[in-house]
Every structure is written in C-alpha cells, then in structure tokens.
Chains A and B, each alone.
Chain A
Amino acid sequence: MDVESMDGLYEAFVCTGCSCLCDDICVRVKANRIEGLTNICSTGKDRLLWEEEKVKIKRPMIRTGRLEDVDYDKALQSAVRILLQAKRPLIFGLDSIGYMAQKIALDIAREVRGVYVSDNIVYSVPFYLEARKRGIHFASLEEIKDRADLVIFWGCNPLDSHLRLLSRFSVYPRGRFIERGIQDRTLISVGIDDKLSRISNLSIHMEPGTDQEVSEALRRLLLGDQIGSFRGDIEALEGMAYLVGKASYGVIFFGSGISEGTDARGNIKSLFSLVDSLNHRAQFVLFPMDNCGYNANGVVQLLLREVGSPLGADFSKDPLFKPGETELLEILDKFDAALVVGADPASTFPPGKVNLLERIPVILLDPFVTSTVSISDVVFPVAITGVEAEDIAYKMDGLPLKLKRIIDCEYPSDCEVLSDIYSRLRGNKN
C-alpha cells in the first residue's frame, strides 16, 4: 500500500489501550507515523505511541541453540512441526488480539486438540461460575450512563486500569435520566485508598481480606438485621447503607482486588448475594472489570458462542483442563508445547511456573520484544492490531467495535499468521 495514502486525520478512531475501547479518538497521521492524539488517556497513548517505551521484533526467529533470524516460511514450518508433534499443546494469551484472530486460534486449538485459555481467566472464573448458578444482573455502559445514580468501585481502581471509564461512561457524564451528571450521582469506593478515594463521595477503608464480611454486613444493614461483631468502620458502613438504600439504579464495578486470590469465590458469592438482595428494592447491576487485554471480552463472547463456556476449552482426547475447576498453573507441567498470542507469560506467571514453559517449545506472536521472547522457540513479529491491522474487538460490556488500520506495516497481522499456521496444519493432516 502507498504509505502516503494513509496520511490524514482519523476521527472516531477506536483506542485499544484498555477494554473501554473509547471510540472518540482523533489521530493525526503523517508520513506513516502517528503525529498526535486527541481525547486519548495516558494508557492509550502508551499503546499507540509505542516508540518511547517498546522495541519491535524485527524478523521471524527460530531457536537453534540461540534465536536466529529466518524467513517467514521457515518460521511457519517450524511452528507447524511443533504443533503437529505436540500431544497436548496450550493456546494461551488471546486477550490483546482481535476477535477474528481469537477465532482462528480456537480453530487451531480444535485442529491440534489443544487447550485454549485466555490470560484473563484467573479473574473471570469466580464471576462466571457464580453467574451460571444464579443468573446475572448486568447492563451496558450506555445504560449505566443513562440510569445509574450510584456507582460503587469495589476492589478495583479505574484510575489505574481504565482511565476514561469515570469521565466517559460511568460517573461524570450526563445521561438520559441523570441530567446533571456527577451532581445526580454518588460515587463510593470500597477498599481503594488513593486517588479514587479523593474524588469519592464516600470511601470505605477495610482490612485486606475482609470483603465478604463488609458485603455481608452491608446486606444485613440494608435488611435491617443485626450485624453482630464487625471489624471495620461501622459508621462508614452505615453511611454507605444509607446511600445505597436511597439509590434507584446502582452499579457495582469490581476487580482483581476481590476476584483474585484464595478468597475470590467467597468474595464474589457474597457480592452476588448483596446484589440479589438490592434488586428487591431497586435495580442494581454487577460489572466485572477485566484486567488484561483490550479484547478480554472477545474471548468470552467467542467461547460462549462456540463451546458454551466462557472459561476456556480443552479439545484433547483425555481432557485435563476443566474450565472453572482446574487452575491453569496447576497443570502447566502437562503441556508439551505452547502457542502464545498477545500475552507475556514470562512476565506475568510466577517465576516457578515460567520454568515449566522454558522446557517446552513455545511459539510466540507479538509485535514487541517481551520477556517471553527469551523463552520462545519460534517468534513471529506481527502488526499491532487496531493501528497497523484491522480486526474486531469487544468492549468490556460486550459491544463489538471495528478496529481500523491507520499505519502501513511490513509485518502480517495476528490473523494472517494464525491463518497460515491453520491452513498448513490442515494441509499436513490431509
């Protein structure tokens, strides 16, 4: 493509900095470089103006003692050979790639009888297991903007992870029935002790690990029951019960502060009980904040459509991975190859578990040099989706948006590399 032809001003560009997928970004492109970004937060800027922070992978590489540059075809052959020889390959990452690429990765997992797991699974398991049992109280971000007069952030801080969530979708914008924006809304932060508590109407501080106790005490207060002994600040909790009690539409955003760790299932269960109870008096929704890539919701949508469970899939002959029951890290030693797309497990896995990846052949697709490159056996440089390649991504509330290509790039997209791997796998099998 002619480089000059992509120059210009792009309005309504979708940012892939986080799963808010803000679609009001203005981008100025000149000489095949992003010159300026308007309406973008610092997280989005770091992703789109990556030159300051990151180094791109230049060529496909395979390991022959050490990583060596090879041509694309040779890397492809190597990757296909690894996947064909593997008895139980792991297809991992997936949150930071487009939906079409996620879909082809799922086809590969089916073809090689692999295990398909997203990076976000650790945080989402307790929520989806509980939702399966009880049903779900959920709403789109547009509806929350139009109706919610109470917003609670519990164990999550959007000012670290989803910077424009407050100003664009939840707390500050004016909605159809919340005509004065923040003046008609109440913001409560629970378990967050920093910049979010500065701007909250009420901030509940608590001892770590007491989330269940707090939500149960709040539920009892709202029902008018005795709460017995309580280790936290009872006056603040009574204040919260008052604000929650007078809300007509509330939303509880929760994050890794409560959906990670040994207490996660109990925490989520008690939040579901609280929301169930609140829905007898007003409308309340529970909204999980995904912590990984911009398209974590894409994996959920894809898996629900294709396999019926949002928590991963095991296509092997003797399945070991039972979505929702098995911890991926516990069975990591059972895999004999890994295809990693849009993730950096060498940085995010505990050090003891990274060793398990080091001993098996790893195929990596990534635009940038990450720690995982050093433990990989085949490395493909790919275009940055949403900047250098088109695709589709699902916003955190499940709304699909088209990602544009605004920069010309010499590298293939995730989708193209995965398609090539998939067609070679099928060709070899046939």
Chain B
Amino acid sequence: MPGKGLKDPLTNLMIDEEKCIGCGICVTVCPPNVTNDEIAAGKGPRLNDNVTLRIEDGKVKLVNPKSCNRAIPHAPFCSSCIERCPTQAIESA
C-alpha cells in the first residue's frame, strides 16, 4: 500500500497521507468505485464493498490496487483521482 514516498508497484500511484484531507473526491470519481450506484451518488463505500479507493481515519487508502484501471492490462489509461485531487495527495510515480 503506497504511503508518502512509496509507490504502489501495480498502479504507479503514490499517496501522500500528509497532504490528504479525506475529502473523498477520489473515491467518488474512481471508475471502478462508481460501478457501485451508491458510491457514484456520493455515499462512502460500505465495509464489504469491493472498492479500489477508500477513506480510512481521514486519509485515502488504495485498498485494492488490482481493481484499479491502471493495473489492468489494456484498460483505458486512467488518472481521475490524480486530476481531481485538490491537495495533490495522489500522484503518478
């Protein structure tokens, strides 16, 4: 799981928890997340929802890198979370 200065090898995403404010924008715009209608409508994921990104204790966590479009071969390139993050807490390594 990526933290400050650490990149996730599957997705090349780097999450800086110092910068993250837990606004949840990344969770609401993440394409694999929004296959769930409730999450697409703004609700936070339930604990048993199979999601890519989740906010835990006020910080974003990449909980399931395998489901991220960036980790899926031949999937369209995705940088939704990076582009929408207001604090630049998520970056591409």
Contacts and interface: CB of A to CB of B under 8 A. Distances in A.
A168 interface: yes
A14 interface: no
B23 A41 contact: yes
Interface stretch (A31-39, A218-226, A234-242): A31-39
Interface string B19-54: 011111101110000100000111111110000001
17 contacts: A36-B57, A37-B56, A37-B58, A38-B56, A39-B55, A42-B20, A42-B59, A43-B58, A45-B22, A166-B25, A168-B42, A172-B25, A172-B28, A173-B42, A181-B29, A182-B29, A195-B87
Given A39-B44, A40-B22, A172 B29 contact: yes
Contacts of B24: 39, 41, 163-164, 167-168
Contacts of A36: 56-57
Interface string A23-61: 011100000000011111111111001000000000000
Interface in A158-208: 159, 163-164, 166-169, 172-175, 181-182, 195-196, 198-199
A193 to B, nearest CB: 13
Interface residues of A, number: 36
Contact of B47 (A11, A164, A175): A11
A395 to B, nearest CB: 14
B4 interface: no
Given A41-B23, A163-B22, A26 B58 contact: no
Interface hub of A46, A164, A181, A199 (most chain B Cβ within 10 A): A164
Given A25-B44, A36-B57, A42-B22, 13 more contacts: A9-B47, A24-B44, A26-B47, A37-B58, A38-B47, A39-B55, A40-B22, A45-B22, A166-B23, A167-B25, A173-B42, A174-B42, A175-B41
A230 to B, nearest CB: 29
A389 interface: no
B84 interface: yes
A46 B59 CA distance: 12
B41 A159 contact: no
Interface hub of B25, B40, B58 (most chain A Cβ within 10 A): B58
B56 to A, nearest CB: 5
A22 interface: yes
Interface of B: 20-25, 27-29, 34, 40-47, 54-59, 84, 86-87
Contacts of B56: 36-38
Interface string A237-275: 000000000000000000000000000000000000000
Nearest to B80: A182
Contacts of B40: 173-174, 181
A26 B86 contact: no
Contacts of A166: 23, 25
Nearest to A183: B29
Interface of A: 9, 11, 22, 24-26, 36-46, 49, 145, 159, 163-164, 166-169, 172-175, 181-182, 195-196, 198-199
A11 B47 CA distance: 9
A198 B47 contact: no
B78 to A, nearest CB: 14
Contacts of B84: 172, 182, 199
Nearest to A45: B58
Nearest to A145: B42
A41 B22 contact: yes
Contacts of B25: 166-167, 172, 199
Q: Which 7 pairs of residues, A with B, have the shortest CB-CB distance?
A: A39-B44, A173-B42, A45-B58, A42-B58, A41-B22, A167-B24, A195-B86
B43 A24 contact: yes
Contacts of B34: 174, 181
A430 B32 CA distance: 66
A49 B57 contact: yes
Given A164-B24, A167-B25, A39 B86 contact: no
A24 B22 CA distance: 14
A36 B56 CA distance: 7
B42 A40 contact: no
B42 A198 contact: no
Nearest to A174: B40
A41 B45 contact: no
A41 B42 contact: no
Contact of A159 (B23, B27, B55): B23
